[in-house]
Amino acid sequence: MTILFGTDEWLDSFMQRLNEDEKYRQLAADYEGSLVFRCFADPSVHEILAKDRVFYFDPYRGSIREWRVCEPGEQVDAVYELSGSYPAWKEVATGKLDIKKAVLMTRQIKVKGKISDLVRNITAAERIIEVLKEMQGEYVFPDEMESGARAS
């Protein structure tokens, strides 16, 4: 069965892949700092986006120690928050929009937190997106689901 982008199952699969990725492990060997990715609500796309989708993960020296999909309205304390619209995140996830460009130039993805520290670790961030792109075909984006179809 197809995994729906943005679900618990999708996040579990994504984070497990990162933890198995030797290149990510090497690039993030010195990185410590929790992250929140926020995808703004857009119920016109799919019911899963009726509210903001918030993903928390805690990378620590090359591995992800903790991850979860946060409850709607839950206050999450993280070192960084990256937030943007569903179309922006989809473009980043598919490689149509470079994460550096999305953050620094077009500002389609906004950052809360000390951006200079995040930029210093940009190669690890880029590898996160590369792993996500490598997973294409294993999940489906909400706006690409057939009408009435359900994904696990």
Give tens-digit pLDDT for 54-63: 999 999 999 9
Provide mean pLDDT across the span 46-61: 95
97 lies in some domain: yes
126 lies in some domain: yes
Structurally, the chain folds into a number of domains equal to 1
> Domain of 46: which CATH number?
3.30.1050.10
Q: Is residue 10 within 8 Å of 53, Cβ to Cβ?
A: no
* Per-residue buried b or exposed e for 20-41, using 16+ beta carbons within 10 Å of the residue's own CB: ebeebbebbeebeebbbbbbeb
65 lies in some domain: yes
Beta strands in the chain (DSSP E): 3-4, 35-39, 53-60, 63-69, 80-84, 109-112, 139-140
- In this prediction, residue 40 has a pLDDT band, given cuts at 50, 70 and 90, of very high
151 lies in some domain: no
150 lies in some domain: no
Provide mean pLDDT across the span 10-18: 96
Is residue 85's pLDDT more than 60?
yes
Note the pTM of the prediction, 2 decimals. Answer: 0.90
Q: Is residue 64 within 8 Å of 57, Cβ to Cβ?
A: yes
Q: Which domain holds residue 124?
A: 3-144
